[in-house]
């Protein structure tokens, strides 16, 4: 494993701006009738049937395309065309979502309770335990600790709830151009708050570098709010003035006009985000009696098939346990 500080801008599809993705929704892949049939067949197989999943399933093209988009493209993809409400019930759609996710990697636990699926909806719903993701307010920009986070949209709110996405490479390129003197700061490890979901026996925070560069792959792990909130722990080193200034600068880049793209999920959409290449958030939303936002979230580990990571990040790609 070769690690270094990358001092030049990143080029290629991963370095995009809002203008690159706002015309024609290039991140969307529409499922064909044959692929829907194959997805249904895959959903009917047992979740732990590894032999069947490794065999021809009719989903090879979908999976190969997803991997290409996530690993070598913009880092974000939407599978569209799941006929929710007609051919597919929410339960069947969830099985299809999980069948496709298992072909990308391993579905891993998202919290200390070992949950493999999180239901994202208003915290006032009796089944929702709470947390930032359960609030109607907008979510802060962040990356999750595993390789891919995926969402199945089961219902949309009355308004709002857009996915907000920023290219980590674009943020990095701005840093290289405007403040190269801070490059060494972003390669340091910063305490990141687990927000109460730390693995059993672990402290309430874990050290993670904001950027790392291993074997020609730039990886981002940026959650500004959680870096700041980690300082509530007595054993976390205080951030210095220069580190605070750098962190606020990175936060400003995420909100710089023309940087982020907003995506309005549709019922039946399956979203896939490469956590190492894309920083994401969500706008606030409004529900009413007839329109109540509801999503399923999966964390997916690519394991040995994923990009090389520094040890501080590699240990969390298998999720929380």
Q: Would you place residue 51 in the very low, low, confident or very high pLDDT band (cuts 50, 70, 90)?
A: very low
For residue range 128-181, list pLDDT tens digits in order. 344 455 568 889 999 999 999 999 999 999 999 999 999 999 999 999 999 999
Q: Residue 284 and residue 51: Cα distance in Å, rounded?
A: 42
Q: Residue 104 and residue 59: Cα distance in Å, rounded?
A: 11
- The confidence score (pLDDT) of residue 1 equals 67
Quick one: 17-321 is in which CATH superfamily? Clavaminate synthase-like (3.60.130.10)
Q: What is the DSSP string of 288-312?
A: -SS---EEEEEEEE-GGGS----HH
Nearest to 220 by CA among 171, 264, 182, 256: 171
Q: Residue 243 and residue 226: Cα distance in Å, rounded?
A: 14
Q: Residue 160 and residue 138: Cα distance in Å, rounded?
A: 9
Q: Which residue has the higher pLDDT, 291 or 242?
A: 242
Q: Which residue has the higher pLDDT, 100 or 45?
A: 100
Q: What is the DSSP letter of 71?
A: I
Average pLDDT of the chain? 92
Residue 64 above 70 pLDDT? yes
Q: Residue 221 and residue 210: Cα distance in Å, rounded?
A: 5
- The confidence score (pLDDT) of residue 127 equals 40
Query: What's the average model confidence in pLDDT over 213-232?
Result: 96
Q: Which residue has the higher pLDDT, 170 or 56?
A: 170
Write the CB contacts of 251 (distance below 8 Å, at least 6 apart in sequence). 141, 224
Q: What is the DSSP string of 201-216?
A: TS-SEEEEESEEEETT
Q: Would you place residue 123 in the very low, low, confident or very high pLDDT band (cuts 50, 70, 90)?
A: low
- The confidence score (pLDDT) of residue 244 equals 97
Write down the pTM of the prediction: 0.93
pLDDT > 70: percent of the chain: 92
CA-based torsion, 38, 91, 296, 207: positive or negative: negative
Residue 48 above 50 pLDDT? no
Q: Would you place residue 55 in the very low, low, confident or very high pLDDT band (cuts 50, 70, 90)?
A: low
């Amino acid at each position: 494993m070769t690690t270094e500080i990358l001092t030049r801008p990143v080029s290629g599809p991963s370095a995009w701006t809002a203008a690159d993705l706002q015309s024609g929704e290039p991140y969307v892949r529409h499922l064909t009738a044959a692929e829907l049939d194959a997805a249904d067949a895959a959903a009917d197989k047992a979740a732990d049937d590894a032999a069947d999943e490794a065999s021809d399933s009719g989903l090879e093209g979908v999976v190969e395309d997803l991997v290409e988009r996530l690993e070598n493209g913009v880092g974000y993809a939407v599978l569209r065309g799941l006929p929710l409400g007609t051919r597919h019930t929410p339960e069947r759609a969830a099985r299809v979502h999980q069948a496709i996710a298992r072909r990308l990697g391993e579905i891993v636990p998202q919290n200390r309770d070992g949950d493999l699926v999180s239901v994202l909806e208003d915290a006032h719903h009796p089944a929702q335990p709470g947390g930032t993701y359960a609030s109607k307010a907008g979510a802060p920009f962040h990356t999750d600790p595993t390789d891919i986070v995926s969402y199945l949209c089961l219902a949309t709110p009355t308004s709002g709830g857009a996915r907000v996405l920023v290219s980590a490479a674009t943020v990095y390129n701005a840093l290289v151009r405007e403040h190269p003197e801070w490059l060494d700061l972003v390669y340091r490890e910063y305490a990141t708050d687990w927000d109460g979901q730390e693995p059993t026996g672990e402290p309430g925070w874990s050290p993670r570098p904001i950027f790392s560069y291993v074997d020609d792959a730039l990886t981002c792990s940026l959650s500004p709010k959680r870096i700041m909130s980690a300082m509530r722990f007595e054993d976390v080193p205080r951030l210095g003035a220069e580190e605070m200034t750098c962190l606020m600068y990175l936060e400003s880049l995420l909100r710089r006009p023309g940087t982020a793209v907003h995506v309005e999920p549709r019922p039946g959409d399956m979203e896939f985000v490469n956590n190492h290449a894309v920083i994401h958030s969500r706008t606030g939303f409004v529900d009413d009696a007839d329109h109540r936002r509801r999503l399923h979230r999966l964390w997916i580990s690519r394991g040995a098939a994923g990009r090389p990571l520094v040890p501080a990040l590699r240990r969390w790609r298998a999720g929380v346990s």
